[in-house]
Chains A and B, each alone.
Chain A
């Protein structure tokens, strides 16, 4: 059952259906926060759900490697059937059909990028969790690399000085707090290639960081304002979702929400997600203290009010929040001058 989105989250804890939906990334944002708050008080339940999530990961580890071989050796009989069926479908498709919804354009575009995995994307048409702001954010995960593919520099060119401060500026301006440094994944062989502030499908700004390793494998990290509402006692829970061939891990800390997307084995992506979390100063569930002072972050923080100092970032190296106009070109590399210079410690992450 899909979570009821308008629950006040009063009274009883989440039901079993909600917990399952949480495992599958099909729980909506508000419900997810309630579930995480609940899990923070129920370590046994948290362990049970973590085991379920690990099952999902294990299934992919078991069966995913086979299909790559299959892709190149479809039996001739099957290929013939596919061809026949396709021509029948095509004949049928000549008849005009009304456009189903606006996601079709998107889906069609993505299909260019994804190969066999396009099927998973189309499932979004019916997925309740597309409503989740965090997931809505990740829906761009496949879309934006498409743009990057045409505009991003090759792997040998690391993030330019021109683009680097943008994300740092934006992060520093987050009223709910933000990590002081961008995640460093060099220990895992991933180098940051591109970064920028984009506008999510929900119309809200988010940071997009693209990392690439020597083999050309890429992961994209999204960060947006609005961490766990009310604070979830320091528990970081990685929620796994799959979208065609793209795997995603979603999580939140007290400051921001994160989404890591990559086309790779789930185990590997999870390791990267954990490294990102560590690099951001997050804590793993094992190390989580029972309570953690979390700023009053809501799911819809007033991120436009960048001069809101009432909720100063709880980051130890918090810089004074610079005033920037979020409405000015949040997503496009327009070459506009930066609104202001930044404290050096933020502008130049020390990993480079």
Chain B
């Protein structure tokens, strides 16, 4: 009965989707997912302790991502053109809806930690508590990153000056 909850396969699309949104690169994203699965495999001695498989997998993926960021010290985040091209045939969004290009460009310029919060909550639909668990930060920190990230996105999409929004990946705190 509880079986479906423990189906890794169920979580793979979500993981890949998040990784892709996070890294902005599909090859990188799949590599990240595979590394995460490998990490999970080596830790699986504690599998009985996993209460929420999705949060568990996302946490591992997040940590793997942060580790990579720290190794490289800089991260080339970009939305691949095919992502944007995929959107072109779609009907124009109705009143006030975001321009996808603007959103993609703004997301690209968002500080890494804010991007994580925005994606986990706004895209993956995680509850704040789950996002906090995944990122291993207090829920208040999730909220403030989310709030700042969203406002930054909004201002960027409104063409406001973004002097204070340069990417500062080295400020990432290792989530452990």
Contact = CB atoms under 8 A, between A and B. Distances in A.
Secondary structure at the A interface, as helix, strand, loop or mixed, is helix
A286 to B, nearest CB: 7
A89 B7 CA distance: 9
A20 B153 CA distance: 14
A81 B83 contact: no
Interface string A57-100: 11111111111001100110110011011101110110101011
Classify chain B's interface size. 35 or more
A66 B26 contact: yes
B167 interface: no
Contact of A241 (B125, B146, B147, B151): B125
Interface of A: 1-2, 16-17, 20-21, 23-24, 26, 48, 50-52, 54-67, 70-71, 74-75, 77-78, 81-82, 84-86, 88-90, 92-93, 95, 97, 99-100, 104-105, 107-108, 111-112, 115-116, 118-120, 122-123, 125-129, 241-243, 265, 267, 270-271, 274, 286
A62 B87 contact: yes
Contact of A123 (B20, B99, B130, B139): B130
B122 A24 contact: yes
A55 B30 CA distance: 25
Interface string B51-69: 1111100000000000000
A270 B107 CA distance: 23
Contacts of A67: 13, 16-17, 20
Contacts of B162: none
Given A78-B37, A123-B125, A89 B97 contact: no
Given A82-B12, A111-B5, A116-B14, A62 B47 contact: no
A1 B130 contact: no
Interface stretch (B38-46, B70-78, B168-176): B38-46
A66 B123 contact: no
B55 to A, nearest CB: 8
Contacts of A267: 90-91, 93-94, 97
Given A66-B83, A92-B48, A122-B54, A85 B37 contact: yes
B86 A74 contact: no
Nearest to B4: A111
A35 to B, nearest CB: 15
B4 A55 contact: no
A63 B2 contact: no
Contacts of A95: 48
Contact of B33 (A78, A119, A243): A78
Interface string B1-29: 11111111111111011001100001000
B48 to A, nearest CB: 5
B10 A55 contact: no
A17 B139 CA distance: 10
B98 A55 contact: yes
Nearest to A94: B48
Nearest to A242: B125
Nearest to B122: A56
Contacts of B119: 59
